[in-house]
Structure 1
């Protein structure tokens, strides 16, 4: 009996997931992870395409009922540059790298669904299983699209999921519209004349100017944003100076700005640039600003969201489907796929775990069988 013939089972899912967890790889470096995914897909008998975005993997399965619609199912495969602090027996074996967002679990669930559907392809149409690199910060979805994802693998709709800490296992959430926020990053450098700290009038106080900017920029959120439209601006880094008695010549600030509405996003960027320049001009400083729009907002197609909710509500494994949870201000590069192809992105409860991107986080293995069941149910319902 081959490994494929003996699957699927909860223990096999657990072994797969914990193997991925032991060997985390960050954006565009997921070489071992990608090779293992391709190996398992080929073992199941699937046609496998590798190389999109470097480490991306796509497998295709045709249903036994003949032609029909085509859908894509996506899992992210990368880890984070975080030092793990769990003491688990399957903890990361790579210093400074950790699956702190559950992508090891997302990968496992989609692999399990692929194996299960190969064993029983009782549907009409085609499924593309998309294993995407570099979700964290580097836009692997965008790169896969630029390199021909939707040209090589045309599809009528695409779907994604994310585990959700704090939501009980057996519960899920679907948003009819925005699910995750757009994501912009900024780095700004203020430069002037350094001087002795005892004689600040002989130089330029870039620290004071930077502190004023931190406060000034929050005015964009409190006074430039319509009250009904969420937005968050966070200055996350402030670097400057090396000595107690020296006024530094430069300071550097970094951070993020997030919102959902595209028009508000453009307005806030414009006003951000104006506020930075005005602050620099007031203090007589030079300013360098690098402002980058990274990810668009993740916005579900309402019709596809409704289909997902209906499938979840008919699954005996799912105890509750939330349709009214507020969207999250975190971001997700699945948004690039939804800009090109209609679809939806759901959340599935990870139970009482540490938060995402926390060194103590761990994906809940009890969720894996539910994720496998979800993907199968979605395929059979939509391609029936």
Structure 2
């Protein structure tokens, strides 16, 4: 029996796990309930469990029947988002202001499905390493696990990750060789002017005017400073200033994100942002303080492991359900940092059409659980073979 058929037989059980996780979302580094469920399931299937890796992460270790010393890592993320759910599903979030709007409940469940199957069959050489990561949503969960010596304590020769893709096509797995997802920096810009009565703007330095000038000027970094053949995005996502109708405030604040694929472009955008802020500050007689934080690295899939992922997907789903050349994504993913430490590949699995990721109406498509779980399990069976 193929892993797809065998895992499909457990779909009701796995769906129940996924919907329970969905109903009880936890934000990054708060995944104590989720981690407890994961650890208990793994232990119940006879898998060696390590808790508290990178604060709330869980790692499971399972040895196969063969004598190979190869170790294959599989990773899923567990955290939810600070979003008020807008669905009316029976399994909707029970926690106000929190929901699984990115499908991490489904990713966790797919990895649990792969772990259960592998624990029952043990039809592989070497060792499977199941990595359940906290805090993927911009809080540095991968870096926390790496700082906790993840790959020193649990060595892996290769590591693989998987994400759902709500715009489909249904059941198609996409893997891009090389740079596949963008790096991301988050920035905060604090503008300090001089407060005054709104009827006497000449007595102050209006930080809102400076703020407006910066919103416009920063967009020229992409349109006029970035080589057109390279991708870059500068998005201002927060604008804050003032608290009264008749007061020019003392300070204003801008925040947002920078997305790039190239280290040189990334450095240039940061430098031009600081230069632009300094120039506008001087022009208006204000102070402008810039903080830019490295949040995500560029996600780069290794050639060999990307091909291995494509081969496994072709075997399981058929060549017509595999995309070997998807467009790179300007979105970011902190699995990138694990790929800097260990070669591997990150894939996208299409599900039925519906609300987009990070949308309050989003819900994971449970019917793809066996597809993702079988793909992850088969990677272990194929890639753990001696002599690779």
TM-score norm. by structure 2 comes to 0.95
Unpaired runs of 5+ residues, structure 1, are none
C-alpha distance in structure 1 between counterparts of 2:7 and 2:312, whole Å: 27
* Partner residue, 1:98: 99
Q: CA deviation at 1:318?
A: 7.3
Residues 341, 203 of structure 1: CA spacing in aligned structure 2 closer, same or farther, 3 A cutoff?
A: same
Structure 1 match to 2:109 = 108
Secondary structure at the aligned position of 2:53 is classed as coil
Contact 2:7 2:373 in 1 (8 A): no
Per the TM alignment, residue 316 of structure 1 is displaced from its structure 2 partner at its CA by 3.4
User: What per-residue deviation string (whole Å, max 9, x for no partner) do you get for residues 198-232 of structure 1?
Assistant: 22222112111111111111111011111111111
The offset of 1:317, in angstroms, is 6.7
Secondary structure at 1:215 match in 2: helix
Q: Distance in 2 between matches of 1:229 and 1:163?
A: 27
C-alpha separation between the residues in 2 aligned to 1:28 and 1:176? 31
The separation in 2 between residues aligned to 1:358 and 1:211, in whole angstroms, is 28
Q: Write the distance in 2 (CA, Å) between the matches of 1:374 and 1:161.
A: 9
Secondary structure of the structure 1 residue equivalent to 2:317: coil
- Contact map agreement 1:8 1:116 (CA 8 A) in 2: no
- Look up the match of 1:167: 168
The equivalent residue for 2:3 is none
Secondary structure at the residue paired with 1:373?
Answer: helix
Shift of 1:321: 1.1
User: In 2, distance between residues paired with 1:207 and 1:10?
Assistant: 55
Q: How many residues align?
A: 380
* Structure 1 residue ranges, 4+ long, deviating more than 4 angstroms after superposition: 5-8
2:65 corresponds to which residue? 64
* Alignment RMSD: 1.5
Q: Which residue of 1 aligns with 2:202?
A: 201
C-alpha distance in structure 2 between counterparts of 1:200 and 1:47, whole Å: 67
Shift of 1:289: 1.9
Verify the 8 A CA contact 1:172 1:318 in the aligned structure 2.
no
Report whether the alignment pairs 1:30 with 2:31. yes
**1:223-372 superposed matches below 5 A:** 223-316=224-317, 319-372=320-373
CA distance in 2, matches of 1:253, 1:205: 15
In the superposition, relative to structure 1, how do residues 133 and 311 fare at CA in structure 2: closer, same or farther (>3 Å)? same
| Pair 1:8–1:28, CA change in 2 (3 A) | farther
Whole-angstrom distance in 2 between the partners of 1:343 and 1:46: 23
Contact 1:173-1:325 within 8 A present in 2 as well: yes
